[in-house]
Structure 1
């Protein structure tokens, strides 16, 4: 170590000790904590807080080195072998103990036992590991995933087929192109077995934690819900509205996604002769943030996924500590570690998450294209948070987005080309009414093809035709379509021009745009 490094003081992975404490447990907690996390360094011979080098003389330093090495080897379970060195600074000797992340977690002080003697590092301090954190470490050491753990619930082939059919239709709804819809294949029991969401033993099949979460059987998982809220201002003092979504976790995501879309600004842009709706935030990023929070959260850690909308930002919080190998910078660059491997595989099939590791970089990319401030990643110890910042969108008195609003063809924003095309088309309309009429008919035909209702949307339209004042729950009861799907489809049907909302969300009604 250099003098400059010492003067920086203690950090998350460096701790100073003036001397070897009489009771080794006083520093053994830190030894165990570093080994249970991403490793660290303990330096003996430096006074804490003042960073004054006290050091040891040449006669005693080797004896102290041996004492430290033996204490660590004898006190910890599984065995920890540190790398211990000495260094001379200003004529004094310091002892440097380097500890690497262990492969057999949890490590603990043998005398205290696993439950009481396991420690972790959080924000530069050493803390006792909670029981759920010990469970996480056991799973991580065995390269196992919580969602792939077997539960005592036998499944019939019919149970599995019905769930797979729902997965297929959900995936179909999220396909971006007709080609993708045509190429989408149904999944079945064998696929769920390969994802380890179903465990096959002999001629019987059993559910896993992941299967139950996707099936909405949440009695054992009270925190497997998404809390959504809109706050007035920029702090959590006064909320305007809030909802909690509970059920199949993939449908929870769609409900939370629809909640956000309902409460952010919606403008439009002119593309040629057509007017297209455009939200103030990149909707792809909104879905990615919520999907990642549900997919990568710890289902052992107490806490619920939270989606909070403030005047200046959208905030999505996911329960669970970051993996010890991950830093915020690595995450931003696209590094990821899948916490729930089976759920991640299925979410990928259903088009709910992008390629692994690409989600966060894409959120940064979309924010830049939208002209938004750079997103913020926060490691909050037991939680991980992503902030997507809002920016007032300039629109004219018709609600049309200012053409200067930053654009990119890949996400269908306004481009210089679109502005020029719109200008040329407008000039042509003034001089040639026939061409304008033909162009309008062509656009109408294209929109009609693009906006043809799906089978579920037809059911909703028939229900609205019968009762325009029906609530989302009543539409669910009238059509047999799941409530999560109803909440997801209604905003889409408005975007496609199939439905019009008259009045507010509480007392308004639906009108079919015929």
Structure 2
């Protein structure tokens, strides 16, 4: 930005969409401003401009960036994100912190206070405003988001045609007119206007990671039972969601042992972890993850367990106990619907329940469910080594 542009920002003063803060502002002060923008229409916080418009600057930009990241992660519930950029202003450095309207409204402080914007400041939200935020958020899902610059040329048409045939009994036809293809994709909410949605790219895109770089899976196998320096294998898996699922299943089959059991008087080999249990766990991670976060699904294999890390905490109001009981909130309903039509899962919310049942039937330790910072982790425990006879 030019000096004149900065001068114009100062002259315009604090507004509904802009606020000034000293670089020495307390974390609580910054958090309440961030929250007010997230809960309303978004806005910009200028760090390094005093309330009276004096450009005081930011002495240590890197430290200030880290401070902002920590506030967004630790002082706001649910966790928020912002775009932070350095701006030079007449020899002084500022941070321009841009926040879009939050997808997980309402946002709260650590003390449970909810703020919204009002003219050039902020105020506590009323109970009715908080209720409306909940209602508005439930009507929007990230997998409906439009991916700017995409179009029909980004669709894998043979796969889409095969999907229509499998899901709806439509005759496969790779030469449909563009108008018909666009109409079908819109009806499935895989296209909005002439651009693909997140769901459309992940299910039918030719190169989904070109449009959504972190919508991938990362595999790592560590020696022992902790994440140490010795990595026995590491892979990045990309492609459409069904492709990612298939490739990860194949990779795990290579790394997991077969377990020996006795049927009658004859030894029999079984997969160490039931394939159905693996599929349910991996599919849940792909379908229910938060695609607004720039992070992949991580699958980590240790000597005693398999951990599946899905980006994003549980949606508002859902607890680990709810998930275990089969109660769920659909974070990505379009993706879920399409994966169901492909026969890769059901919409009944019984996946986690089935995982626990399969573990019990096989005599495996009970799986663990854990909500961590910005992710949900499912842990499947392997059989203790002495029980793994007849290994491959």
CA RMSD of aligned residues (A): 4.3
Greater fraction of residues in helix: 1
Q: Are residues 251 and 366 of structure 1, via their aligned partners in 2, closer, same or farther at CA, if it must alter by over 3 Å?
A: same
Report the TM-score when normalising by structure 1.
0.48
Q: Deviations over 1:465-499 (max 9, x none)?
A: xxxxxxxxxxxxxxxxxxxxxxxxxxxxxxxxxxx
Q: Deviations over 1:57-112 (max 9, x none)?
A: xxxxxxxxxxxxxxxxxxx569xxxxxxxxxxxxxxxxxxxxxxxxx567899999
- Distance, in Å, in 2 between the alignment partners of 1:267 and 1:118 is 46
Q: Are residues 111 and 207 of structure 1, via their aligned partners in 2, closer, same or farther at CA, if it must alter by over 3 Å?
A: closer
Matches within 5 A, 1:411-426: none
- Distance, in Å, in 2 between the alignment partners of 1:252 and 1:335 is 26
Alignment gaps of 5+ in structure 1: 1-23, 37-75, 79-103, 173-183, 401-503, 505-514
Q: What is the CA distance between 1:260 and its match in structure 2?
A: 1.0
- Distance, in Å, in 2 between the alignment partners of 1:239 and 1:228 is 11
Aligned equivalent of 1:221, options 212, 227, 238: 212
Does 2:253 correspond to 1:261? yes
Does 2:200 correspond to 1:208? no
Alignment gaps of 5+ in structure 2: 1-24, 48-66, 84-97, 106-135, 173-180
Does 2:279 correspond to 1:290? no
Aligned equivalent of 2:367, options 368, 371, 375: 375
SS of the counterpart of 1:287? helix
Aligned equivalent of 2:301, options 296, 309, 325: 309
Work out whether residues 229 and 239 of structure 1, in 8 Å CA contact, stay in contact via their aligned partners in 2.
Answer: yes
SS of the counterpart of 1:342? helix
- Distance, in Å, in 2 between the alignment partners of 1:341 and 1:312 is 34
- Distance, in Å, in 2 between the alignment partners of 1:332 and 1:134 is 34
Work out whether residues 307 and 315 of structure 1, in 8 Å CA contact, stay in contact via their aligned partners in 2.
Answer: yes
In structure 1, the residue matched to 2:161 is 165
In structure 2, the residue matched to 1:235 is 226
Q: Are residues 106 and 118 of structure 1, via their aligned partners in 2, closer, same or farther at CA, if it must alter by over 3 Å?
A: farther
Q: Are residues 153 and 367 of structure 1, via their aligned partners in 2, closer, same or farther at CA, if it must alter by over 3 Å?
A: same
Q: What is the CA distance between 1:26 and its match in structure 2?
A: 7.1
Q: What is the CA distance between 1:268 and its match in structure 2?
A: 5.6
Work out whether residues 336 and 347 of structure 2, in 8 Å CA contact, stay in contact via their aligned partners in 1.
Answer: no
Aligned equivalent of 1:384, options 376, 380, 386: 376
Report the TM-score when normalising by structure 2.
0.61
- Distance, in Å, in 2 between the alignment partners of 1:263 and 1:224 is 23
Q: Deviations over 1:433-484 (max 9, x none)?
A: xxxxxxxxxxxxxxxxxxxxxxxxxxxxxxxxxxxxxxxxxxxxxxxxxxxx
Q: Deviations over 1:181-221 (max 9, x none)?
A: xxx7359956643331123x4xxx43222222232332232
Does 2:334 correspond to 1:342? yes
Q: Are residues 161 and 267 of structure 1, via their aligned partners in 2, closer, same or farther at CA, if it must alter by over 3 Å?
A: same
For the pair shown, the structure with the greater C-alpha radius of gyration is 1
Q: What is the CA distance between 1:273 and its match in structure 2?
A: 11
In structure 1, the residue matched to 2:89 is none
Work out whether residues 295 and 340 of structure 1, in 8 Å CA contact, stay in contact via their aligned partners in 2.
Answer: yes
Q: Are residues 129 and 77 of structure 1, via their aligned partners in 2, closer, same or farther at CA, if it must alter by over 3 Å?
A: closer
User: Between Structure 1 and Structure 2, how many residues are aligned?
Assistant: 294
Q: Deviations over 1:391-434 (max 9, x none)?
A: 1387797x49xxxxxxxxxxxxxxxxxxxxxxxxxxxxxxxxxx
In structure 2, the residue matched to 1:145 is 141
Q: Are residues 147 and 119 of structure 1, via their aligned partners in 2, closer, same or farther at CA, if it must alter by over 3 Å?
A: same
SS of the counterpart of 1:153? coil
Work out whether residues 199 and 334 of structure 2, in 8 Å CA contact, stay in contact via their aligned partners in 1.
Answer: yes
Does 2:188 correspond to 1:195? yes
SS of the counterpart of 1:336? coil
Q: Are residues 135 and 31 of structure 1, via their aligned partners in 2, closer, same or farther at CA, if it must alter by over 3 Å?
A: closer
